[in-house]
Amino acid sequence: MANSFFKDLQCDNCGEVYSKNHINTFCQKDNQPLLSRYTINGSFSKNALINRPKNMWRYYEMLPIEKENNRIHLGEGFTPLINLSQLESNYDQSHLFLKDESGNPTGSFKARGIGMAVSKAKELGVKEICIPTAGNAGSALAAYCAKAGIKAHIYMPEATPETFQLDCKIMGAKVTLVKGTIADAAAMMTHDNDGTWFDVSTLKEPFRIEGKKTMGYEIAEQLDWKLPDVIIYPTGGGTGLIGIWKAFNELKELGWIDNIPTRMVAVQGSGCDPVIQSFKKGIHTISPHFNPATTIANGLRVPKPFGDRLVMKTIYDSNGTAVSISDKEIIAGLNEFAKTEGLFLAPEGAAVWMAYKKLKVKNWIKNNETVVLLNTGSAYKYAENLRF
């Protein structure tokens, strides 16, 4: 078996390089996220994928886990890319797809990033991990830590649906409920951490993004290496948005694709939309959204993403845009999608669908373009939120 091409870590903002052999969090010079870098060579071709298992580890050369026995694997990745034939017809869209992440372990795309982060933590000898979460990330951390034999400390807002709380507790994690938002949960976690817990908060460690980027590799492979014109993505912390764009740039460097036509769209809830506010101003940083409204889309209620510069850079570099969606619109989207395609989306996925409709009306999305929507998790975990 070929080895990982993992070389080192680098701050995308200041360029500082960090060793892959140490436990790293974020850049100590400017408090910005670290990104994994790889030594690209011609030994990894598309043909190498033909007989590999259909999970996210099929791209292991471009992932940071260096020994196969450190992969904590629960069946994550290679989720379906579903052709939305009814909605294609209804909205006169040439090619419309849904990348459905609901079938991942613990019911969401968080399995990818958390699975990668826990695997790397195991490889580096970490014994205890902590995270603040709005739900799905906590479920995933509890599961992967249980499999890895690592202690999980999970902090979540009191408003988090009970299904997520049960998920974490039954896996043996220590769960602390906090009044307020995920930012408040993070603050309490930081207070309680005596320095022995490894913090895997969004983009405060380098490897969740490496798991999330596999969505980009899969989308490219599932479309026979022709990238879509538009990807619409629900954006809380923004790891997946950044990760997919990172994947596309890596694919170009590998020579597997010739160009990147994709425009990346960030979608947020109207009651907490700091990305949209920064995009409207054309700026590269994000200010906190104070007093964010409660929403049925828990994953979108992030007052300020830690990787704000990378989120905005992805949107600008891809000639993308940002759209806010209300809870009322989300409910309408859930109903339309279910009745038309037979798919019950998570609220975040429904927000993505409604963003597509807004952009289509504005002609920002053209009829002849290929569009991929992301449904990041299972609707069934949100049952408490969806009593309408």
In 3D space, the residue among 136, 181, 186, 144 whose CA is nearest the CA of residue 161 turns out to be: 136
CATH of 81-106+207-385, one of 3.90.45.10, 3.10.310.70, 3.40.50.1370, 3.40.50.1100: 3.40.50.1100
pLDDT of residue 382: 81
- As a dihedral over the C-alpha atoms of residue 200, residue 198, residue 141, residue 56, rounded to 10 degrees, the angle is 60
Residue 295 Cα to chain centre, angstroms: 19
Q: Is the predicted pLDDT of residue 203 greater than 60, yes or no?
A: yes
pLDDT tens-place string over residues 41-55: 888 999 999 999 999
User: Which helix (H) or strand (E) segment is 157 a member of?
Assistant: strand 151-157
- DSSP letters, 238-284, are -HHHHHHHHHHHHHHHHTS-S---PEEEEEEETTB-HHHHHHHHT-S
Query: Please, what is the average pLDDT of the chain?
Result: 95
pLDDT tens-place string over residues 316-351: 999 999 999 999 999 999 999 999 999 999 999 999
In 3D space, the residue among 12, 298, 4 whose CA is nearest the CA of residue 123 turns out to be: 4
> CA 334 → CA 13, 30, 136, distances in Å?
38, 41, 19
pLDDT tens-place string over residues 216-275: 999 999 999 999 999 999 999 999 999 999 999 999 999 999 999 999 999 999 999 999
Work out the pLDDT band at 388, boundaries 50, 70, 90.
low
Q: Can 81-106+207-385 and 110-199 be said to share one CATH topology?
A: yes
The CATH classification number of 110-199 equals 3.40.50.1100
What is the three-class DSSP state of 348?
Answer: helix
Work out the pLDDT band at 190, boundaries 50, 70, 90.
very high
> CA 375 → CA 101, 260, 334, 343, 379, distances in Å?
6, 22, 11, 10, 9
pLDDT tens-place string over residues 174-186: 999 999 988 899 9
* Single pTM value for the model: 0.96
Q: Where are the domains of the chain?
A: 6-70, 81-106+207-385, 110-199
Q: Over pLDDT 90: what percentage of the chain? A: 89
Work out the pLDDT band at 1, boundaries 50, 70, 90.
very low
Give the residue-averaged pLDDT of 100-109.
96
Surface-to-core class of residue 47, CB atoms within 10 Å of its CB (0-12 exposed, 13-18 middle, 19+ buried): exposed
